[in-house]
């Protein structure tokens, strides 16, 4: 036992959580809450790594999964690890694929916890036995076909003298038979079913990596499926579903028809902004990998903060307040709250914004923008308000530390008194960098999205810091999609080939560009 895991006197609680079949959104609400409160998360190969983003800062990640060629930890070692972590006073989330009670060996883990007086809870999950067929368009029961099903382990050694299954009863007891972990024993399973009364013409489906971007489905009959699997080199992990309900796939398949099905999309936005784009990608059937290469924060340098505070404490002086991003709105009002400055001191100012999202955030705070520009960037904003600008007017621009100089320069040329303040700063973020680099190298990322010039430059920098000599070569193996011409220009300057650019610099337009990509 390591020094960090020495008994603390106070025992932690272990949550034995079913993480669902793979799609991270199929975890239960309680399961997600347990991850968020855990001091340590113990997970395996079948639990989506995307769930780890919900961990609290400083929580420990411990991978104990089994790979095809090796065992990271034996089950007995995993059991003891959970005990040791809890005795060290840690709250532990043990993530297991599917439902922990269905061939998940949760009983063994719970027994040792009980023996050591460690409090635990079993948090049920959605088993792959029902969810994976559903994602392949196969309901496991149907009034016209069957009202019964059996869930069976397929992980039996054909060389055993006796099977633990009573095939004479199992073969025809239910209309639907679902075998988990049975690909390597498929021929044996087929032989037993047919030998004990199941028709060779019974439909069969194998579904590999169900509910994930790699989902693959193979359909046949008991008489043909073994040869089909051999010809297709169809590998585990996959479930086997036997029964007439398989016929429904032809009309009910829905997931594989989505426009981004089979595509893993890298989202490089700041974490505070990434969720909206990730959700839209998920809705289109893709898998969003959130890799926030930008971290936004309030300015930390005293001089910069003092300049900002001075401007906010004289809001009544300004004729214009111009917001160029949703982040500018958020951090502007956050600092007002910290300073306890009444926004009504801005009574004289006309407020204008770049883009509908920025205007929407202002409207939520009871402030209506003067007008929206046609082009959602500084040039468009200037064009929209130009008829109302008068030399001598005072304009406040609450912006990012890396914002372009175009707008303040042009306003000054027009004779306005311009005050630029940094309400937030952008720094490089590299959480999950090792995992993302590995995915890029393995060709597991199909599309890379950029939502600002800084996401381009920051991603290039992060990849270099993590040993990638030529990031452009690696990224150009993916489809590169940029939000608007400025971001695309930065991407091209960094050696990237821009495959698609959104018509407007908005998330809606970017999603439309993604939706239009060829399957």
Active site residues: 44, 66, 181
* Beta-carbon-side half-sphere exposure of residue 302 (alpha carbons within 13 Å): 0
Phi, psi of 70 (to 5 degrees): -165, 165
Residues 6+ apart with CB under 8 A from 267: 274, 277, 278, 281, 288, 289, 290, 291, 292, 449
Q: How far apart are CA 107 and CA 113, in angstroms?
A: 10
| Secondary structure (3-state) at 242 | strand
Upper half-sphere CA count for residue 290 (Cβ side, 13 Å) = 24
DSSP code per residue over 264-282: EEEE-S-HHHHHHHHHHHH
Can you name the residues that pair with 239 across neighbouring β-strands? Answer: 180, 207
- What is the torsion angle, in degrees rounded to the nearest 10, for the CA atoms of residue 68, residue 72, residue 76 and residue 81? -150
Going from the C-alpha of 10 to that of each of 6, 39, 119, 418, the distances in angstroms are 11, 14, 11, 59
Q: In this structure, what DSSP letter does residue 401 have?
A: T
How would you class 448 by CB atoms within 10 Å of its CB: exposed for 0-12, middle for 13-18, buried for 19 or more? Answer: buried
């Amino acid at each position: 036992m390591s020094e960090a895991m020495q008994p603390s006197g106070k025992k932690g609680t272990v949550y034995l959580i079913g993480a669902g079949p793979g799609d991270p959104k199929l975890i239960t609400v309680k399961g997600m809450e347990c991850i968020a409160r855990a001091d340590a998360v113990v997970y395996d190969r079948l639990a989506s790594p995307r769930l780890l983003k919900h961990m609290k800062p400083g929580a420990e990640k411990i991978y104990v999964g089994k790979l095809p060629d090796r065992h990271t930890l034996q089950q007995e070692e995993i059991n003891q690890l959970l005990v040791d972590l809890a005795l060290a006073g840690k709250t532990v989330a043990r993530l297991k694929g599917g439902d922990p009670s269905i061939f998940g060996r949760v009983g063994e883990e719970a027994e040792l916890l009980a023996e050591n007086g460690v409090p635990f809870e079993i948090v049920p999950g959605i088993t792959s036995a029902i969810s994976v067929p559903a994602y392949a368009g196969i309901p496991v029961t149907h009034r016209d076909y069957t009202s019964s099903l059996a869930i069976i382990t397929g992980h039996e050694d054909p060389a055993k003298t006796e099977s633990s299954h009573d095939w004479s009863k199992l073969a025809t007891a239910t209309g639907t038979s679902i075998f988990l972990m049975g690909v390597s024993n498929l021929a044996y399973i087929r032989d037993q079913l047919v030998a004990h009364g199941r028709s060779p013409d019974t439909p069969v489906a194998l579904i590999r990596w169900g509910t994930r971007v790699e989902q693959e489905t193979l359909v046949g009959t008991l008489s043909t499926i073994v040869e089909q699997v051999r010809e297709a080199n169809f590998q585990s992990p996959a479930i086997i579903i036997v029964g007439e309900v398989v016929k429904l796939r032809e009309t009910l398949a829905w997931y594989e028809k989505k426009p981004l099905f089979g595509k893993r999309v890298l989202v490089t936005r700041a974490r505070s902004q990434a969720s909206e784009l990730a959700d839209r990608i998920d809705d289109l059937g893709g898998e969003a990998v959130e890799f926030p290469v930008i971290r936004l924060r309030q300015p930390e340098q005293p001089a910069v903060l003092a300049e900002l505070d001075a401007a906010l404490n004289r809001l009544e002086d300004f004729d214009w307040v111009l917001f160029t991003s949703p982040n500018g709105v958020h951090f502007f009002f956050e600092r007002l709250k910290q300073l306890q400055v009444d926004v009504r001191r801005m009574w004289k100012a006309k407020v204008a914004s770049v883009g509908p999202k920025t205007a929407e955030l202002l409207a939520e705070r009871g402030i209506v923008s003067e007008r929206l520009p046609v082009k959602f960037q500084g040039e468009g904003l200037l064009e929209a308000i130009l008829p109302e600008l008068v030399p001598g007017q005072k304009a406040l621009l609450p912006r990012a530390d890396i914002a372009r100089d175009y707008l303040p320069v042009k306003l000054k040329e027009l004779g306005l008194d311009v005050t630029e303040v940094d309400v937030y700063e952008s720094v490089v973020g590299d959480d999950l960098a090792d995992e993302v680099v590995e995915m890029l190298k393995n060709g597991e990322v199909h599309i890379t999205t950029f939502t600002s010039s800084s996401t381009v430059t920051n991603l290039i920098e992060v990849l270099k810091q993590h040993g990638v000599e030529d990031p452009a070569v690696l990224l150009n193996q993916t489809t590169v999609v940029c939000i608007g011409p400025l971001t695309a220009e930065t991407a091209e300057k960094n050696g990237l080939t821009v495959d698609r650019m959104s018509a407007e610099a908005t998330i809606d337009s970017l999603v439309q560009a993604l939706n239009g990509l060829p399957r």
